[in-house]
Structures are given as structure tokens and as C-alpha cells.
Amino acid sequence: MTTDLKSRFLQVYDTLKSELINDPAFEFDEDSRQWVEKMLDYNVPGGKLNRGLSVIDSYQLLKGAELTDDEVFLASALGWCIEWLQAYFLVLDDIMDESHTRRGQPCWFRLPKVGMIAANDGIILRNHIPRILKKHFRGKPYYVDLLDLFNEVEFQTASGQMIDLITTLVGEKDLSKYSLSIHRRIVQYKTAYYSFYLPVACALLMSGEDLDKHEEVKNVLVEMGTYFQVQDDYLDCFGAPEVIGKIGTDIEDFKCSWLVVKALELSNEEQKKFLHENYGKKDPSSVAKVKELYHTLNLQGVFEEYENASYKKLITSIEGHPSKAVQAVLKSFLGKIYKRQK
């Protein structure tokens, strides 16, 4: 991704923001306009922007030619809709998880002037998406498909979040509920659909494609999203904090992480009991004990095996696709995440 494309992408953010804070459907005053602008600047453009940028990337590969300025703008607008969706989830997620930091700064709701107003800000972020789509895509033949797509992916993500929340209920820390199949379901719905399928689906719709004819593409991307999350779980424990930009707390938080699921699978009765006693405890010595068990079970080696097997499987699926352009899109995604360190 050229710096040029990223700076063009960020310019589109400014355009969209200015349209939203001057939306004729609502009479803004100076205070409300400033609030929304601050809220957007704090929550929307701060991440790596991978999801948004990959709409442009994918569309370029599907079209197989230089994009016109107008096409870059529209692909960017859809990319920003995904970043808006992400911001909406994260703002509300952080409240639910009582988190303290996000992307190296305090969570939005932790700011003294914000607090629970953040819940409504989340709703506003969510409502910005159809405003953006209406303004820029209303006349397009795929407009209705875009609306359907965003609605469906939001439903899948919220439902994935629900399984995650009810599986990790703090009051009843029961490790026996955790299995590879429940881990897979959470990851698929909570992360894979919006992070992997959605950007490519947007590019396919812009290219005039019918999404119903691309089930296989969806399956490969959801598979890739699953692999991505397993990497994330691995890095949370074994990644260097200065590289990944955050300090992992999955063990303390009793998360249904791929590592704990694998550990349960590989443990003898004594080790299982040990995990039950130490997993999800805040004190550092318990966390250290869990990590020690992970080392004893050679989870780093097990992960590397999983990584290699996943990669082979994904490449095989991708190369079975009839369209070379679609193959290029999928391979570009895989190339970005394979063996990543952060």
C-alpha cells in the first residue's frame, strides 16, 4: 500500500466527517458539531486502517486496471464505513469489558467528560454508516446489496460478541465450556466476517458481482479470519509488548483463547486441574504458572504446526478458484497476515 493511497484515504475521512457534521437531517449547533468531530477523531482513524485500505486494494486487483479518482473515492468511502463499524464495536466493547486503554490511549468512555455518553456515541457511529452510503451510493445498482451486507455483518458480529460474553461470564468461570468448536464460532462471527469478508465483499459489489455467487470466497476469508485470530491469541501471550503495542491480558481475563483451548486438549488430569485453579486469576504468579504450563505443553510448537497447516490449506483453496483476479485478492490478504509479528 503506497503512502500516497493512505494519504488519499485519510483525505476521504475529512470529506466524510465534514459531510456528517453538516448533515441536513439534523440541526447542529456549535457544541454538538464539536462533540461529534472530537468523538470521530478520537475513535475512527486511529488504528492500522487495514480493513478500510483493503477495500481499495481488493477493488484495484478485481478491476485489474488503474482506478479513476472517482473509483478511489467510492472504494475509500466503503473502506471508511468498515472503519466506522469497527469504531462502533470498539467503543461499546470497551464499556462492556471495562477496559482502560485502546490503541495506546485511554478508552473513549474513560475520558472524564465522556463517561456513559459513549454508549450513545456508539449508536451515532453506527448510524453514520447508512448516512455515508445514502449520500454516495444511493443511485448505484448495488445500493441495496450494500445495505444488506452491512446489516448482516453487523448482526453476525454482535451475535459473536454475545457468545463470547455469555461463554466468559465472570461469575461462573467454567473452563470445561471451552472447546475448539466454541472458540471457532466466536472468532468466525465476532471477527472474521467484518474484518476479512466485509472488505472483499464491498469490492466485489463495486465490481458488479453478485455475492451469492461467491460463497467459496466467503468461506476462504472466514477461514483466514480464524487463522488471524489464532495468531492474535498466540501473540497476546508470546508476542513482545513493544512489538504488538499492547500488554496481553487474555489469561487474567479468562478469555476463550486458542491457547487455553489447546492446553485443555493436550493436558493430563493433573495439568487440567492446575489450569482450572490458575486461569482467569488476576495475580501475576497465577499468570506466570499458566504461561509455564503453555511452555511445558510446547504450545509454541503446536502453534507453528497449526500455522503451517492453515497456510497450506488456504493456498490450496485459493488456487482452486476459477478467477485469477479473485485469487490475487485472496493471496494479497494471506500475504499480509502470514507469520506476522504484530
Greater model confidence, 164 or 77: 77
Note whether 1 and 79 are same-domain residues.
yes
In a domain, 143, yes or no: no
Distance, CA of 187 to CA of 275 (rounded, Å): 22
In a domain, 226, yes or no: yes
Residue 339, number of CB atoms within 10 A of its CB: 10
Distance, CA of 111 to CA of 118 (rounded, Å): 9
Note whether 34 and 130 are same-domain residues.
yes
Q: Residue 169's pLDDT is what?
A: 75
Distance, CA of 116 to CA of 155 (rounded, Å): 23
Note whether 248 and 330 are same-domain residues.
yes
Domain of 39, in residue numbers? 1-138
Overall domain count for the chain: 2
In a domain, 147, yes or no: no
Note whether 46 and 133 are same-domain residues.
yes
* Residue at a domain's end among 93, 108, 138: 138
What digits encode the pLDDT tens for the residues 313-326?
Answer: 999 999 999 999 99
Q: How far is CA 122 from CA 7, 116, 208, 234, 283, in A?
A: 26, 10, 31, 29, 33
Average pLDDT over residues 298-305: 96
Note whether 124 and 44 are same-domain residues.
yes
Note whether 49 and 188 are same-domain residues.
no
Note whether 177 and 95 are same-domain residues.
no
In a domain, 211, yes or no: yes
SS (H, E, C) the chain: CCHHHHHHHHHHHHHHHHHHCCCCCCCCCHHHHHHHHHHHHHHCCCCCCHHHHHHHHHHHHHHCCCCCHHHHHHHHHHHHHHHHHHHHHHHHHHHHCCCCEECCEECHHHCCCCCCHHHHHHHHHHHHHHHHHHHHHCCCCCHHHHHHHHHHHHHHHHHHHHHHHHHCCHHHCCHHHCCHHHHHHHHHHHHHHHHHHHHHHHHHHHCCCCHHHHHHHHHHHHHHHHHHHHHHHHHHHHCCHHHHCCCCCCCCCCCCCHHHHHHHHHCCHHHHHHHHHHCCCCCHHHHHHHHHHHHHCCHHHHHHHHHHHHHHHHHHHHHCCCCHHHHHHHHHHHHHHCCCCC
Note whether 289 and 331 are same-domain residues.
yes
Percentage of the chain beyond pLDDT 70 is 97
Q: Residue 3's pLDDT is what?
A: 65
What digits encode the pLDDT tens for the residues 271-301?
Answer: 999 999 999 998 999 999 999 999 999 999 9
In a domain, 193, yes or no: yes
Note whether 182 and 309 are same-domain residues.
yes
In a domain, 153, yes or no: no
Note whether 298 and 196 are same-domain residues.
yes
What digits encode the pLDDT tens for the residues 56-69?
Answer: 999 999 999 999 99
Domain containing 291 — which CATH number? 1.10.600.10
In a domain, 150, yes or no: no
Note whether 105 and 166 are same-domain residues.
no
Q: Is the distance from CB of 245 to CB of 341 less than 8 angstroms?
A: no
* Residue at a domain's end among 73, 108, 138: 138
What digits encode the pLDDT tens for the residues 202-229?
Answer: 999 999 999 999 999 999 999 999 999 9
Q: Residue 171's pLDDT is what?
A: 57
Average pLDDT over residues 101-119: 94
User: Model's pTM, two decimal places?
Assistant: 0.93
In a domain, 100, yes or no: yes
Note whether 68 and 172 are same-domain residues.
no
Q: Residue 172's pLDDT is what?
A: 67
